[in-house]
Amino acid sequence: MASDSLFPEVTARQPSGEGILPSQEIRHLIDTGIIRYTREIADDQIQPASIDLRLWYEAYQVRASFLPGKSTTLLHKATANGMLEQKIDIADPTILQPNVVYIIPLIESLALPSDVYGIANPKSTTGRLDIFTRLITERGNEFERVRRHYSGSLYLEVVSRTFPIVVQAGMKLSQLRFARGRVAPAGDSRLRQLAQDDLLLDVDEDGSEQQPNIDRGVRITVDLKGNGSDIIAYKANKCAPPLDLSKINYYDRADFWTPIYRNSKRQHVLEPGGFYILASKQRVRVPPDLAAELLPYDPTTGEFRVHYAGFFDPGFGYGAKGETPGTKVVLEVRANEMPILLEDDQFVGRLHYYQMAATPDKVYGVSIGSSYQQQGLALSKQFKREQQYLSGSLPNAPSTTKDTPETAPHQSDAKSQVRETDDDDSILKLAFPNSGAEHRINAKNR
């Protein structure tokens, strides 16, 4: 990453209160050099309560995942003692093979103050494609966490569990939120008050509102009835072709997914090692002054996981002023060692709500290019929308939302055998609008 001398001195901040930091304060962290970068940060990277992190030009294919630690730098640990399989240039679109571990430096780095820490998670699209990512810091003790006063580079561990994926420098697979003070989930009494004020709601199958089930958070259950659709889930196909993450509304789902249809028993057995997309029965709302996170009902079981990207931005299913009548949660489910029987309305997780340090100046929704505000049983935005976005839609509610491409269609013939010729729309130029031959040379010698 670039040296500290390239960045301005951190000036006095005017921090908001305790809680998860909103978009305007994230922007201030960028302006004051707390969030650092080697390529300019675009406004669409800043989400209501997080910032999207971009891949750098290099990837390190390693033999195995490893625990972070204080003993040595991350890249030394990744490349020493025979760990490094190969170093890969991802300046052009490049295939990452399934179940191979890659360590990829990120364009963004940090110089956090003593009162701010970070928490990362995969982006929604990343999770829906069964791409496992974990943020790593130098000499850190745990994944997905950035300690207070951390100063240094950021790295992403990437493992695509099912599909070969085509990636390129500048793509965004993970997002980082920041917090100040003690950030604890809202208690049940607070949630009941929110439900009484119609800020939280559940929607029955006939479209009528009902009170959410609150018990140490909002209980989330799985929908195997279909709520108007014959399809209740999708199972990922093995041996699928490479999937280019830059392609939006492009792929036929049949090449990558097998639909699962409802049955009279309203149940389904998850196969060991299978990856499934399902939907919740509940429609979730997150008011603008709150954020939310979906946690498994019992993380000690280890039987299956229900969500990769469990963070919900302010405004999810709510909008700016309550105009959105709730949005279903898409469940990214992977069974582990044994077959698992799922039944309709089975309890799978708790939604925890957290206080924002201040209301963000933009909220989740179509106006900022959010892709899943009106989702039903929705696959990731790489797939043609077809009927999938109509499943489970509320009466009179919009069935689709505007997809804003994170990156434009562009692939490499040499590396992925699927290159297109429109260089003006390449991911690299969109991610780094001012980059040219000189910047590419600098990147190669980084």
Q: Largest Cα–Cα distance of the chain, in whole Å?
A: 66
Q: Are residues 360 and 212 in the same domain?
A: yes
Cβ pair 223, 347 in contact under 8 A: no
Are 136 and 214 in a shared domain?
no
Sign of the alpha-carbon dihedral angle for 301, 302, 306, 309: positive
Q: How many domains does the chain have?
A: 2
Identify whether 49 is part of a domain: yes
200 and 148 co-located in one domain? no
Is residue 407 one of the residues assigned to a domain? Answer: no
CA distance 331 to 377: 9
- Nearest Cα residue to 55 out of 84, 90, 79, 29: 90
Is the pTM here over 0.85, yes or no? no
**256 within domain boundaries:** yes
Looking at the domain assignment, is residue 28 inside a domain? yes
Is residue 245 located within the same domain as residue 319? yes
Q: Residue 8's domain spans which residues?
A: 4-182+423-444
Q: Token pair for residue 297? A: 């009902």
Residues 160 and 11 in one domain: yes
Q: CB-based contacts of 25: which residues, under 8 Å, 6+ apart?
A: 15, 16, 178, 357, 358
What is the torsion angle, in degrees rounded to the nearest 10, for the CA atoms of residue 419, residue 421, residue 422 and residue 423?
80
Is the same domain home to 240 and 364?
yes
Token pair listed for 404? 């804003």
In a domain, 396, yes or no: no
Output the CA torsion sign for 176, 179, 184, 190.
negative
CATH code for the domain of 132:
2.70.40.10
Judgement on whether residues 259 and 348 belong to the same structural domain of the protein: yes
Q: Which residues contact 248 (CB under 8 A, 6 or more apart)?
A: 381, 382, 403, 405, 409
pLDDT by 10s per residue, the chain, length 446: 443 433 333 344 456 689 999 999 999 999 999 999 999 999 999 999 999 999 999 999 999 988 877 777 888 888 888 899 999 999 999 999 999 999 999 999 999 999 999 999 999 999 999 999 999 999 888 899 999 999 999 999 999 999 999 999 999 999 999 999 989 999 999 999 999 887 887 666 566 667 899 999 999 999 999 866 799 999 999 999 999 999 999 999 999 999 999 999 999 999 999 999 999 998 889 999 999 999 876 655 555 666 666 899 999 999 888 888 888 899 999 888 789 899 999 998 899 999 999 999 989 875 555 555 555 788 999 999 865 444 444 433 433 333 333 333 333 333 333 333 333 334 444 344 444 333 332 333 33
Q: 193 with 175, same domain? A: no
Facing residues of 234 across strands? 259, 277
Residues 266, 337 share a domain? yes
Number of separate helices (H) and strands (E) present in the chain? 7, 27
